[in-house]
Amino acid sequence: MDDHRTFVIAGAGLAGATAAEALRSEGFTGHVVLLGDEPERPYERPPLSKGLLLGTAERDTVHVHRAGWYAEHDVELRTNSAVVDLDRAAHRVRLADGEQIRYDKLLLATGAAPRTLPIPGIDLDGVLQLRTLADSDQIAAAVTDGTRLVVIGAGWIGLEVAAAARTRGAEVTVVETASLPLQRVLGDRLAAAFADLHREHGVVFHFGARTRELRGAGRVSHVVLDDGTVLDADVVLIAVGVSPNTALAERAGLRVDNGILVDSTLRTDDPDIFAAGDVANVDHPLLRSRVRVEHWANALHSGPAAARAMLGRTDGYDRLPYFFTDQYDLGMEYAGWIPPGATTDLIIRGDLGRREFVAFWTIDGRVAAGMNVNVWEVTDPIQDLIRAGLKGAVVDPADLRNSAVSLEELVS
């Protein structure tokens, strides 16, 4: 029997697109409307700071589905269609052009947007950010051999663009308020390894430095730091993190606190509204905490999990946070989650100096997170160790350090 319900998905990124796919693969025969404010059909963002900038990935390989997939699966994809209002009582969303669409269930998969800096000169030409395909195209066009690029923010995106820009022959300076890149996530020892990697490739860092002002006549030409240092710049990338796109949810009175608050099935406090991907702050059943994850794998898996919840399944979403990065010849995967303020021990298995190792963060002997650098096929046992740790299993640090003891053995 055909289902006459309409399921609307606001946000046509990876979470939205995979949710639409899952609705169909789980057998939903009703109407699926996927609304995105970008001109492109859904695409994956990781290549925007890597393969696309390096010229190793083709632009048309980044899309989540073939162009024909949406029509073939009877998914009404509407690009350039920003949802501007949500009327929960009437079960309706309103688009920028005034059109209203009624929903039975609604998924908010509106993602996140780059933060900006409240400093003079931020609107000058040549001051760029990176979130969309168009942003990546703009960076690729602006950053060529000899370009003086100043990256503000030494997080994942800033460092990936720095690496790609060096490979393109640009002169790269990175400005960061902390005393090392990625310091908050990795801690001093491993953060220093990332700083060394970039220095070896010719990146110049200014740590402990705040940007006071961007200067230029129409186009940016200089970056002024708080201590008066003036850096020459042809292009400036602002890479100071993202904020979840929660405005729609907030205006509609949904609970929002660092993302849209959802339970472990990705449902909001409105039984007909769900959230997934970067925008969702999930009550995580394994981590026993609220967690908002801004990474690819979370969008890939939480979209389908939300779709199942929209169909009334209550299996929940208990994936461990996972992400990856590629910078020069360093490839890395990280899994797990360290509660804010927790005291951790860092255990290295392998060779940190040669950048071939697995790092474990333990809390009272339990593995809380693991990161494999240029070591592959280990994320499954690392995640098994973390899951075991969450159930209380303690691992001998000597065994974790000892590459002769296989990770599978430790799990068992």
Ligand X SMILES: Cc1cc2nc3c(=O)[nH]c(=O)nc-3n(C[C@H](O)[C@H](O)[C@H](O)COP(=O)(O)OP(=O)(O)OC[C@H]3O[C@@H](n4cnc5c(N)ncnc54)[C@H](O)[C@@H]3O)c2cc1C
- Binding stretches for ligand X (CB under 6 A): 10-16, 35-38, 45-46, 48-49, 82-83, 109-112, 130-131, 157, 245, 248, 277-278, 294-297, 299, 323-325
**Of residues 11 and 121, the one with the C-beta less far from ligand X:** 11
- Closest separation in Å from C-beta 21 to ligand X: 13
Tell the residue number behind the tokens 């046992």, with chain if given.
381
**Of residues 143 and 299, the one with the C-beta less far from ligand X:** 299
Tell the residue number behind the tokens 């492109």, with chain if given.
40
- Report the C-alpha gap between 241 and 393 in whole angstroms: 34
- Closest separation in Å from C-beta 45 to ligand X: 3
**Of residues 46 and 153, the one with the C-beta less far from ligand X:** 46
**Of residues 171 and 294, the one with the C-beta less far from ligand X:** 294
Q: Kindly write down the DSSP assignment for every residue of 105-121, as one continuous string.
A: EEEE---EEE-----TT
3-state SS record for 157-170: HHHHHHHHHHHCCC
- Closest separation in Å from C-beta 162 to ligand X: 13
Compute the half-sphere exposure of residue 411: CA atoms within 13 Å on the CB side of its CA: 13
**Of residues 272 and 326, the one with the C-beta less far from ligand X:** 326
- Report the C-alpha gap between 42 and 9 in whole angstroms: 12
Rounding to the nearest 10 degrees, give the CA dihedral for residues 189, 195, 201, 202.
-140
Q: Token pair of 201, please? A: 């490739």
- Report the C-alpha gap between 338 and 306 in whole angstroms: 25
Tell the residue number behind the tokens 């005034």, with chain if given.
98
- Report the C-alpha gap between 136 and 130 in whole angstroms: 6
- Report the C-alpha gap between 86 and 360 in whole angstroms: 44
Q: Kindly write down the DSSP assignment for every residue of 60-93, as one continuous string.
A: GGSBSS-TTHHHHTTEEEESS--EEEEETTTTEE
- Closest separation in Å from C-beta 247 to ligand X: 7
Cα–Cα distances in angstroms (integers) from residue 46 to residues 52, 63, 326, 337, 361, in the given order: 9, 11, 10, 21, 25
**Of residues 28 and 322, the one with the C-beta less far from ligand X:** 322
- Closest separation in Å from C-beta 304 to ligand X: 12
- Closest separation in Å from C-beta 51 to ligand X: 10
Quick one: which of 112, 128, 137 has its CA closest to 47?
137
- Closest separation in Å from C-beta 116 to ligand X: 15
Tell the residue number behind the tokens 């994809």, with chain if given.
77
**Of residues 301 and 395, the one with the C-beta less far from ligand X:** 301
**Of residues 127 and 400, the one with the C-beta less far from ligand X:** 127
- Closest separation in Å from C-beta 12 to ligand X: 6
Tell the residue number behind the tokens 């200014």, with chain if given.
206
**Of residues 112 and 180, the one with the C-beta less far from ligand X:** 112
- Closest separation in Å from C-beta 244 to ligand X: 9
**Of residues 81 and 221, the one with the C-beta less far from ligand X:** 81
Residue 57 near residue 32, CB atoms below 8 Å: no
Residues facing 100 on adjacent strands:
94
- Closest separation in Å from C-beta 264 to ligand X: 18
**Of residues 297 and 309, the one with the C-beta less far from ligand X:** 297
Residues facing 332 on adjacent strands:
325, 373
- Closest separation in Å from C-beta 232 to ligand X: 25
| Phi then psi dihedrals of residue 37, to 5 deg | -90, -5
DSSP state of 312: T
